[in-house]
Amino acid sequence: REAAQEVEETEQEQAAQEGEAASAQQPEGVAQEAEAAAPEPSVSAEEWRVRGNAAVKAGDSEEAVRCYSAGLEAGGGDVAMLCSNRALCLQKLGRHEEALEDARRCVALRPDFFKGYLRGAISLRSLGRH
């Protein structure tokens, strides 16, 4: 339930700050998810984000990671938001190193976005590096 609420808040923030783009380099562990999701040519990064959010709400973090990864591969869209959302899902899956990479990327792209720092702090704590 908390994850669904975070995704909804993130959607609202994303709508207010749409339009950032950067390279879509993937952390090592999620590269396979991006390939498995095989972005459909006609599906935008935004649509992948929406699909990922639906997967989070359904409790399917693995599918959400695949969708957010596909969104990053599709290019365009809000890269910082996709990284933040994927970091949340990676944390739920216990993949804290990868989540930390996404959180750091989010902060680098959007230093004013609080959730990037939050995701990074949670990952560091989970890794015992606080």
Q: Where residue 29 falls among pLDDT bands split at 50, 70, 90?
A: low
Q: What pLDDT, on a 0 to 100 scale, did the predictor assign at position 103?
A: 98
Q: What pLDDT, on a 0 to 100 scale, did the predictor assign at position 13?
A: 56
Distances from the Cα of 62 to the Cαs of 26, 30, 56, 67, 94, in angstroms? 16, 10, 9, 9, 11
> Count of alpha carbons within 13 Å of 1, Cβ hemisphere only?
0
* Whether the Cβ atoms of residue 54 and residue 86 lie closer than 8 Å to each other: no
- Asked if pLDDT for residue 35 goes beyond 90, the answer is no
- Asked if pLDDT for residue 32 goes beyond 80, the answer is no
pLDDT, average across residues 92-116: 98
Domains, in order of start, for the chain = 2-126 (1.25.40.10)
Using DSSP's 3-state secondary structure scheme, residue 105 falls into helix
The values of phi and psi at residue 78, to 5°, are -95, 95
Share above pLDDT 90 across residues of the chain, in percent, rounded to a whole number? 66
Q: Where residue 111 falls among pLDDT bands split at 50, 70, 90?
A: very high
pLDDT, average across residues 40-65: 94
pTM summary value: 0.73
pLDDT, average across residues 18-24: 40
Closest-CA residue to 17 (of 129, 126, 116, 118)? 116
- Asked if pLDDT for residue 101 goes beyond 70, the answer is yes
User: 């998810």: which residue's tokens?
Assistant: 33
Q: Which DSSP letter does residue 27 get? A: P
Alpha helices (runs of H) in 1-130, residue ranges in sequence order: 2-16, 31-37, 45-57, 61-74, 79-92, 96-109, 114-126
